[in-house]
Amino acid sequence: MAIKFGTDGWRGVIARDFTFENLKKVVLAHAEVLRRKGLKRVFVGYDNRFMSENFAREAAALFYGEGFEVNLAPKSVTTPLVSWAVRHKNFDNGVVITASHNPYTYNGYKIKDQTGGSATPEFVKEVENLIGKVSPEREAVPEPGTLTEEDYTGEYLNAVRERVNLEVFKERELKVVHDPMYGSSAGYLRGALENTKVSVVEVRAYRDPLFGGGAPEPVEKNARLIKEKVRAEGAFCGIMNDGDGDRVALVDERGEFVNSQLVYAMLLLHLLENKKKRGAVVKTVSTTYLADRIAREFGVELIETPVGFKHINRVILERGDVVFGGEESGGYGFPDFVPERDGLLSALYLLELFLLKGKTPSEVVKEIFDRFGEAYYKRIDLPVSEEEKRKLRELVQSPPTTLAGLKVKEVKTLDGLKLVFENDGWALVRPSGTEPLLRLYAEMPSPRLLEKVLSELVKLFKN
């Protein structure tokens, strides 16, 4: 079996692909790349998935046996915590045993570089090229207590708190519902908001390796419980995080799901208008046109990348002046903190925005629509055959000039096929980097037009 890293790390089905034997091959290859670069300190963290702690301890033991200084998280942690620790505790690399938002049958292996960001494609390729080709330096099983197991949770939460003005959180009493989706961010939002007037009510804040029989992905189809809880509690809003805590989703005061494109627009507006940040902004090809309009108003450069935060991270590293990067999947990063997505910091920034404006989430959406135009978005995950996948390659070579009666003004093939229309709306088709699907995206200035465009898009693949 060929072990390949996808959009963010290597993921595989537990016991079939993600096995101790395959994990050993990956760790030894990773260790060899680090050794060749003269890097010695590694932090290993893990999420709440089935056997994550066992896989993490095995990975830590293998690094230890290869002569590395290793810190193993003493309990499950979020991916952003590992990223923060790597950057601020001077580790050379980080590993997170997680499959993020994938179904419970999966586990995975994420690599973080010295900055705390996703490992570059070049680094990952070096690791891939050595998988199965490296023998262990020495067989060493750490004695109980010999592995360093330092807990950075408190320090991380304090570091996140320092990014916002906590005084504004003490001005009025609010109730917020937090849904960590059985993942490792349980308790994080409550901890970050201690000694403020914001109270946190948690749902699904315990470990369930089966994730309730689904996948810990913060999307609307998985938001029924938090929507009902927000309404029942009369809460100000709801915050969802995915299984490893690097993504965020928002439910407004009415118990309605706020799509990730609008969350991107909210965070961008907050950083530019309230936090007075200035510098380049990065989005992926599947991200809202509101970003372009907000960036224009504030006179900042907007850069578009393929899907995957590793591509955003590349721009961050190359440019040095990026103040915000985010993507449609609900992952948003703030490079002056860590050049990686952070679901907790995103949540605090959203709450800070609402409190500073004195508006509810739905009122902030209305303000954005009034200032920058309406934008309605939807994504369809389409299971496809190999023949239907080939159809996408044909369309990339010969794209349509119109769709749903709209004239195409620009074609982009940076990642899949993106059609940009004269009304600023767009449609995108790209293969999933982690699952056997085509992802169909569209954003339009009206709900009716959105449904029409998506319907026509599906017909291109499913006759």
Q: Which tens digits make up the pLDDT trace of 235-282? A: 999 999 999 999 999 999 999 999 999 999 999 999 999 999 999 999
- The tokens describing 342, both together, are 């952070």
C-alpha span between 185 and 240 (Å, rounded):
10
What span, in angstroms and rounded, lies between the C-alpha atoms of 371 and 263?
A: 15
Ranges of each domain in the chain: 10-151, 155-254, 260-372, 376-459
Q: Which residues pair with 44 in a beta bridge?
A: 72, 95
State the Cα–Cα distance between residues 124 and 33, nearest whole angstrom: 9
Residue 138 has pLDDT above 70, yes or no: no
| CATH level 3 topology of 260-372 | Alpha-D-Glucose-1,6-Bisphosphate; Chain A, domain 3 (3.40.120)
pLDDT at 135: 85
Is residue 280 within 8 Å of residue 322, measured between CB atoms? yes
- Please give the CATH architecture assigned to the domain spanning 10-151: 3-Layer(aba) Sandwich (3.40)
d(CA 49, CA 54): 10
* Residues 149 and 60: beta-carbon distance below 8 Å: no
pLDDT at position 233, please? 98
Give residue 141's pLDDT band: very low, low, confident or very high (50, 70, 90).
low
Q: Which residue has the higher pLDDT, 461 or 162?
A: 162
Distance CA(359)–CA(343), nearest Å, equals: 22
Give the residue carrying structure tokens 């809003």. Answer: 237
Give, in order, the Cα–Cα distances in Å from 383 to each of 345, 388, 437. 34, 9, 5
Confidence label for 310 from pLDDT (cuts 50, 70 and 90): confident
Global confidence as pTM: 0.94
d(C-alpha 280, C-alpha 320), whole Å? 9
Q: Which two tokens stand for residue 95?
A: 């590993």
155-254 — its CATH code?
Answer: 3.40.120.10
Mean pLDDT of the chain: 94
pLDDT above 70: residue 140 = no
Domain 376-459: top CATH class: alpha beta
User: Residue 335: is its pLDDT beyond 80?
Assistant: yes
What confidence tens digit (pLDDT) does each residue in 378-412 have?
999 998 877 777 888 889 999 999 999 999 999 99
Give ∠ CA 292-298-301 in degrees, rounded to 5.
55
- CB 377: neighbour CB atoms within 10 A? 21
Q: Work out the average pLDDT over 420-446.
A: 89
Judge whether 155-254 and 376-459 match in fold: no
H/E stretch holding 430 reads: strand 426-431
User: In angstroms, rounded to a whole number, what is the distance separating the alpha carbons of residues 129 and 399?
Assistant: 35
d(CA 107, CA 11): 6
